[in-house]
Amino acid sequence: MRRTAICPTTASPSSSERRFYTVDVVTTDWQSDLRARGYRLTPQRQLVLEAVDKLEHSTPDDILAEVRRTAGGVNISTVYRTLELLEELGLVSHAHLGHGAPTYHLADRHHHMHLVCRDCTEVIEADLSVAEPFAERLLATFGFDTDMKHFAIFGRCAKCSAQTSGTAEPTEPDSGPAGQPAPGPRGAETGERSCRGGRGPS
């Protein structure tokens, strides 16, 4: 999965008192980031952070497989608990890029929305300001406050659209009997759509 970016308090360690942190940018000094929030950089947390950093948009199962390359004894429940804590602390963020498990990435950039190409699976990270008019319309019409960063919009990227358009250029049909156009390949009369898209699960 390729990725493209497009950009124009302290909590108590007690699990019952955890709060979500609102941050714009996080440094890559995870030890300092965790210490500032009252936590330690344990080996498991470091391995999960390194896996998320390396894999970029990755599911918990992907992260587990990467972690097990170093620590074979880690299980999926440990990965889920660690991801939950790291997201509460503002170090990682998740998004739904399909109907399967959520994917996680480092929260080291401004919040963004995800555009996923169905053909090549490229993930384009677009600044949330791109969708502001749409979000404002939903709020005005339905009173619905949209969280755009947790789901994806699916379609076809510019590169794949150009490739598809290049192979779907209409051609002049040959003349058949009595000046009638010769029949083309089956299904040619329907053509091919140059793009498709939809919205992923919220």
Is 46 part of a structural domain of the chain?
yes
Is 120 part of a structural domain of the chain?
no
Q: Is 131 left (phi over 0), alpha (psi -120 to 50) or beta?
A: alpha
Is 173 part of a structural domain of the chain?
no
Is 184 part of a structural domain of the chain?
no
Is 124 part of a structural domain of the chain?
no
Is 116 part of a structural domain of the chain?
no
- Residue 54's identity, in one-letter code, is K
Residue 68, pLDDT score = 96
Section 30-54 average pLDDT: 92
Is 2 part of a structural domain of the chain?
no
Minimum mean pLDDT range among 59-63, 70-74, 128-132: 128-132
User: How many domains is the chain built from?
Assistant: 1
User: What global pTM score does this model have?
Assistant: 0.52
What is the residue range of 94's domain?
9-109
Is 37 part of a structural domain of the chain?
yes
User: Is residue 27 within 8 Å of residue 36, measured between CB atoms?
Assistant: no
The rounded distance, in Å, linking the Cα atoms of 124 and 116 is 6
Please write the tens of the pLDDT for every residue from 22-40: 333 344 588 888 999 999 9
Please write the tens of the pLDDT for every residue from 142-151: 999 887 776 6
Q: What CATH code is carried by the domain that includes residue 87?
A: 1.10.10.10
Q: b/e map of 50-71 (b: 16 or more CB within 10 Å)?
A: ebbeebbbbbbebbbebbeeee
Residues 6+ apart with CB under 8 A from 119: 156, 157, 160, 164
